[in-house]
Structure formats: C-alpha cells, structure tokens
Amino acid sequence: MRIYNGPIYCIEQVRIPPELPDIMKNYAKHIIRTQPDDVIIESYEYFKRLNKLRNSSIDEKEDSLKDIDFNKQTNHNNILDNSNFSINSENHDAAQNKNKKMIQLSPLELESFYERLLDYSNGNEIILISDIRNMSEDANISQNDVNEAIVVGSWENEVEWIKFWSLIVAGSCNNLMSTLKIIINIIGDDNLIPLNKITTVTKFLLESDPNSNENTNKTIISALNEREGDVIEKEQLYDILSILQNN
C-alpha cells in the first residue's frame, strides 16, 4: 500500500474568515466576564443577540441609504467591517494592539463625541440605541463597533451613554490606564473630576476587562467609594489608579 507522507492540505486550502478571530476573542471575553452557570445557553444567547444587532444595523443602514445619493453612499463605513473592539489591560500584548482594525479616534474626537452625547442626553443617563447609532456614525464609529459595545454592556433598546462612550474610548487606547486618563481629562473641569461619574465609568471598565485583577478592582472601587463630596482632585485620582500600572 502506498503511504502518502505529504501534507493533508496546504495552507492555501484553509481560509479563515477574517472576522472570526475578533468574534471569538470578544465571545471569550464575554464568557469570562459573565461567568455563566450554563456556558452553552449563554453562548446561544450571546450569538443570538449579536446576530440580531447586526441584522438590525443592516436594515437601518439600507433605509438611510435610500435617501442619499450614490456619492454619499460611498463615503459611509461598511457596518460589517472588522473591528478589534476590546478593553485592554496593562498586560495586554502590545503587538495585538498595533493590529487593531477599529478606527482610532483622537482625544479631540472623543471629547467632541462626549459633548454631543452629553448635550443630547439632557441630564438623562439613558439614550435610545437608534439615536446612539446615528450619532456614532456621524462620529466615524462603525456600526460593528457599536454592536460590540452594546454586547459588552448587555444593553437592549437603551444605552447608558457614559458607559457606552467609555467603551469607545477604550477601543481607541492601548490599555486601561491610558483609557482612564483620556476619560479623566475629558470629563474633568481643570483639576477637578466629577466623583460619581468617574466612579461609575471606572467600575464599569474594570468589570468589563477580563484581564483585570479582582483584588485590584476591589481596592480601586473601595477607595473611590470612600471619597466624600461631588468631586475629586486629579492628582488624588491618579494616586488611586496608580495600582493599575503595577499589574
């Protein structure tokens, strides 16, 4: 009998869908973060929700394109473009960060997006997802990144806009500390930072980051909760967050 010693298949025959690595990475992070009792059921719900979000964004996109001319259509981002949306901790591999496909927003663009969300919310913590989509598209944020942020936040029809925005900031940064620094500089007034707002955002990002240390998270949140008053000085806040740089 002839024995074939060559490769069973060559690399050209194996085509990995370009979006698969990002999908599986975000799925794994979700499972690690939520720690479900039944992984199978949670996995089903996760992909069902992600599919629903993507389908709804496609429908909304097609409806909006009916009202604009062809030249404007070509300027819109493809909502199925790959993104590498993630919360990145300090120990996240730097090489991976360099390969992120998500459109990187500058601090100025992130601040502009924050101001728009703040004005639109009119003092409310919640904004409809449909409105979030429209504002995100105007801010050059792909619908794919919006979908992934919605999945991370486990939102349905409405979004806690400050948390959503913090995820968009995270997608434009290399690690958790740099994310928080940008957030602090944007939401603060000179040297004073709104205590309740930064506590909410910090807790949310720490809990959303599967690479973060549980003891570190507890230390930071406890220190913020012990603070009194409506604001905290930037230097004092950095002292509390400095533990992130040691992990």
> What mean pLDDT, rounded, does the chain reach?
77
Residues spanned by the domain of 203: 175-247
Q: Is residue 95 part of a domain?
A: no
d(CA 221, CA 242): 13
pTM here?
0.64
Q: Are 182 and 96 in contact (CB under 8 A)?
A: no
Mean pLDDT of 38-52: 83
d(CA 133, CA 139): 10
Q: Is residue 234 part of a domain?
A: yes
- How buried is 243 (Cβ within 10 angstroms: 0-12 exposed, 13-18 middle, 19+ buried)? middle
Q: Is residue 212 part of a domain?
A: yes
Q: Is residue 200 part of a domain?
A: yes
d(CA 168, CA 182): 11
Percent of the chain predicted with pLDDT > 90: 36
Q: Is residue 131 part of a domain?
A: no
Q: Is residue 184 part of a domain?
A: yes
d(CA 18, CA 140): 22
Q: Is residue 221 part of a domain?
A: yes
Judge whether residue 231 has pLDDT over 70: yes
Lowest mean pLDDT among 26-40, 58-72, 178-192, 216-230: 58-72
**H helical segments located in 124-233:** 129-138, 143-153, 161-171, 176-187, 195-208, 214-225
Q: 177: how many CB neighbours lie within 10 A of its CB?
A: 19
> Which bin fits 102, alpha (ψ -120 to 50), beta or left (φ > 0)?
beta
| pLDDT for residue 18 | 77
Which is nearest to 26 in space by CA: 143, 166, 149, 132?
149
| pLDDT for residue 72 | 30
| pLDDT for residue 13 | 63
Number of domains in the chain: 1
Mean pLDDT of 68-91: 34
| Dihedral angle over CA of 169, 174, 180, 181, nearest 10 | -110
Q: Is residue 235 part of a domain?
A: yes
| pLDDT for residue 36 | 85
